[in-house]
Amino acid sequence: MLETLCDNKIEKTRYEIEVKKHLWEVDVFYGRNKGLILAEIELKYEDEYFRLPDWIGLEVTSDKRYYNNNLINGLMN
């Protein structure tokens, strides 16, 4: 049903990777956003210390291009 009602969708595979007792959610996109990979970490406290893994790139938390409502239209187009 969703396939017929939703033309715009975010296509991705989510992986969970534990690094130093922190869980990272890594989304690998395909379809309109093919090539985009985003990683997110949930912290217990706003000022909680964590070490960035070597595979982390730029910080995009406040970049509106990476919000789901914008990714629907395809950031990578």
Percent of the chain residues past pLDDT 90, beyond the cut: 64
Could you report the per-residue pLDDT of 24-56, keeping only the tens digit for each?
999 999 988 999 999 999 899 989 999 999 999
> CA 29, CA 67: separation in Å to the nearest integer?
13
The count of C-alpha atoms lying within 13 angstroms of the C-alpha of 60, restricted to the half-sphere facing its C-beta, is 13
pLDDT at residue 69, as a whole number: 86
Q: Cα dist. 69→4, 18, 23, 56, 57 in Å?
A: 19, 28, 24, 23, 22
More confident residue, 11 or 1: 11
* Domain layout of the chain by residue ranges: 2-71
> Which of 8, 6, 26 shows the shortest CA–CA distance to 16?
26
pLDDT at residue 72, as a whole number: 87
